[in-house]
Amino acid sequence: MPVQFAAPGVYIQEIPSGVRTISSVATSVAAFLGAAPRGPVNKAVRIHSFADFERNFGGLSADSEMSYGVRQFFGNGGADAWIVRVVKDASPASRTLLSSTAANVLTVTALDAGVSGNDIQLRVDYTTALPDSTFNLSVIRSSDGRAEQYANVSMNSADARYLPDLVNGVSQLVKVSRDVPQATLDGLPAGTSTSGAIADVATVIDATHTDFRVVVNGLPSVTVSITLPADIAGGTAIQRLTTLAAAIQAKVRAQAAGKPALLNFTCTRTGSTLVLGSGSGGEFSSVRVLAGARNNAAGVLKLGAAAGGIEADAVAAIRPARLPDPATLTSGAFAANDLDALPDATHSSLRISLDGYGPDLVDIGVAPAAGANLGAKMADVAARLQAAVRALKPGNPAYRDFVASVQGSILVLASGSRGAGSAIAVSAAASNDIATGLHLLTGAVLSPPPTDAFLGGGSETPYAAADIYPAFIGSRSKREGLYALEDVDLFNLLVMPGITDSGVLTDAASYCQERRAFFIIDAPPSATDVATMVQSASGTDLPKSDHAAVYFPWTHVADPLKNGKPRLTPPSGTIAGLYARTDGSRGVWKAPAGTDANLSGVQSLALTLTDGENGSLNPLGVNCLRTFPVYGAVCWGARTLRGADQMSSEYKYVPVRRLALYIEESLYRGTQWVVFEPNDEPLWAQIRLNIGAFMNGLFRQGAFQGSSPRDAYLVKCDRETTTQDDINRGVVNILVGFAPLKPAEFVVISIQQLAGQIQV
């Protein structure tokens, strides 16, 4: 903006030079379409190495020509590619996880549709900082060992560790959804915080242990200060604990400030423990006990997970149950009177083995089962059996987490460990046996665990010959197949290894023309000899486009999946890599052909061509691959599909067409600043300056014919190209011309004998 002159002095201002550098675009970014073992369907994914392809799409597959083409592309000099996986139909694998009450709570779905998702296994455990409220989820893809772990996660959507928020959009393997209706969330019981067993509060509460903080439903914490001795008054330990519970409840409610969760807060004594409960249930209900800012009493009262307490949020009821499942032993059915006299002095023991440990003798006591009916008596026996087994080996997870439960009229025993190593066995005790009376021998059913909890239901239908067109040329509006590349900003080379359907090739060539890209086409697999290839090139099998080129014959490459045995593969991936290598070493204006254009990784060609056979194909615009002594397999042609001699196309040669595309794309992107600028001579001068500088740079690199810039290129933008009528319509016309280099296809050497000089 103009400098405002106020006080006398020196003023400095910067004046724009009008120079706007036009950057060269990439020339060999390849786009591959085809089948792959896994990966997203109809979505372009950018990769920079074959290792990236292995990570994202599963690497080589015998059913995927694209996988071999991508490998050859990078092996021949390619460095940048977009991959689009194409299948006819595919559905993702998924698994619905159940809560401990067998309700659907969480669905895990593979990101990649197809059978590869069935290879993903899940593990759920509760070894977290809050083991009674949160859980850990592990996701492992067994095919390559890729694993993701989400630790200390919650089913509470307001929690910072809410599982869907952590997984969706972050995970490279799965997405998750919570399958709990709102009515169920609203009906969840209030969250609680239960202390450990307290012998006598009078012995642990003193002047230096009086304060702790309580966080209810995520609200700001409130401080509880115990008043001595009034808040622990009472003649017995139970009375003192009851008094303290009432005092804590009153002190929290006194700070409610109208919040229902605090206003209805509860604190009760259960046995020798304190149970703090939120005043409102639902998804967000929870109680957390934190250390006091001073005179901390949370530790001595065993309140809070860190002090040995149990904090169970409302959403603990909708956590997924631990996975994989444990080994279980289901008893035979109990009759109504089976436990009327059991256990007794001669029926109290059994032997149990978990995960191969033991067998160990378990004694559940001689007292008869307590309860008014069979269900209550079975529950009493199950509780006694569970406690006795857990006490045997507290350090062994199989024993420590052993569970005995009642399901109707049967008893279910479950190992505390999970997965393939989980095992359980019960046998009769040598004396005082009760295993028979509990129906754990005759009629019992052992249910070994699954190897692991895998996703399932993933399926895919590979495209057959009749499906190639709809699979590869999908809906443009849905961005399927070829049109998945709509999401790609720039690609220069299109490769569909092994795809030779004429309809697909025609549409793909048209799309390349639209996107200023070049299409590398494989010869039809049926063209196993020169005559058949001549027929294909002369007919309608191939699009007559100067944005495409065809290469013949197919190649043999070493197949790592078969110990290096030669595999017949289409040459397009190899040629795309050759294009990239030539662009990097010589420039896009150099024909990707000749003795320097060796085909790396190619062991042999499907057909060895002679000069005469090559001579019958070259005039038709078919680029031949040849094998020469010393040089090996090389590319020996550089014509587009309008390169047939009879067509007389100005874009007969591949390097000429690709150079034009390169210039067009670079100028298209480099002149965006011109839009909405004042359309007059100052703008035209800047255009001539900037485009001229770009073209002169190419000239200095040897991209054009001529010994001087005047002979090599032309940039014109003035009153002659842009008339007043154009200006009125908002149009500026720029004329850019260039003299391309044509490849030396035919080298003519004239040889003449010199007659000896005759003396006259």
How remote is the C-alpha of 117 from its chain's centroid?
A: 11
CA distance 552 to 338: 84
CA distance 109 to 637: 49
Q: What is the CATH number of domain 30-88+462-656?
A: 3.40.50.11780
Please report which confidence band the pLDDT of residue 756 belongs to, taking 50, 70 and 90 as the band edges.
low
Per-residue pLDDT reduced to its tens digit, 199-228: 999 999 999 999 999 999 999 999 999 999
| DSSP assignment of 504-570 | HHHHHHHHHHHTT-EEEEEPPTT--SHHHHHHHHHTTSS---TTEEEEES-EEEEEGGGTTEEEEE-
CA distance 118 to 681: 66
Residues 145, 149, 152, CA angle at the centre, nearest 5°? 165
Cβ contact 270:241 at 8 Å? no
pLDDT the model gives residue 421: 83
CA distance 491 to 66: 17
Write the CB contacts of 452 (distance below 8 Å, at least 6 apart in sequence): 121, 122, 123, 142, 324, 419, 420
pLDDT the model gives residue 451: 65
Per-residue pLDDT reduced to its tens digit, 263-290: 999 999 999 999 999 999 999 999 999 9
pLDDT the model gives residue 133: 95
CA distance 286 to 313: 5
pLDDT the model gives residue 190: 96
522 bridge partner residues = 551
**C-alpha to C-alpha distances, 161 to 134, 137, 284, 285, nearest whole angstrom:** 9, 12, 13, 15
Across the range 515-540, mean pLDDT stands at 95
The H-assigned helical ranges of 355-450 are 374-392, 397-400
Single pTM value for the model: 0.82
Per-residue pLDDT reduced to its tens digit, 622-656: 999 999 999 999 999 999 999 999 998 999 999 99
Cβ contact 52:1 at 8 Å? no
The angle that helices 65-75 and 572-585 make with each other, rounded to 10 degrees, is: 20
Please report which confidence band the pLDDT of residue 757 belongs to, taking 50, 70 and 90 as the band edges.
low
Question: pLDDT at residue 760 above 60?
Answer: no
Q: What is the CATH number of domain 89-182?
A: 2.60.40
Amino acid symbol at 558: A
Across the range 3-23, mean pLDDT stands at 84
CA distance 190 to 278: 5
**C-alpha to C-alpha distances, 105 to 177, 179, 182, nearest whole angstrom:** 9, 5, 12
CA distance 434 to 387: 16
Cβ contact 589:663 at 8 Å? no
SS3 81: strand
Per-residue pLDDT reduced to its tens digit, 439-482: 999 889 998 776 668 999 999 887 888 889 999 998 999 999 99
The sheet that has 459-461: what strands, in order across it?
Answer: 174-178, 104-113, 89-98, 459-461
SS3 424: strand
Burial class (CB in 10 A: 0-12, 13-18, 19+), 350: buried
Burial class (CB in 10 A: 0-12, 13-18, 19+), 270: exposed
Among 4-8, 24-28, 520-524, 756-760, the least confident range? 756-760
433 bridge partner residues = 349
Per-residue pLDDT reduced to its tens digit, 298-325: 999 999 998 989 999 999 999 999 888 8
How remote is the C-alpha of 517 from its chain's centroid?
A: 29
CA distance 188 to 727: 71
CA distance 731 to 722: 7
Burial class (CB in 10 A: 0-12, 13-18, 19+), 534: middle
Write the CB contacts of 730 (distance below 8 Å, at least 6 apart in sequence): 679
Write the CB contacts of 648 (distance below 8 Å, at least 6 apart in sequence): none
Cβ contact 27:493 at 8 Å? no
Number of CB atoms found within 10 A of residue 256's CB: 17
Average pLDDT score over the chain: 93
Number of CB atoms found within 10 A of residue 157's CB: 14
Per-residue pLDDT reduced to its tens digit, 317-363: 999 998 888 899 999 999 999 999 999 999 999 999 999 998 999 99
Structure-token pair, residue 640: 């587009």
CA distance 319 to 101: 10
Buried b (16+ CB within 10 A) or exposed e, 685-700: ebbebbbbebbeebbe
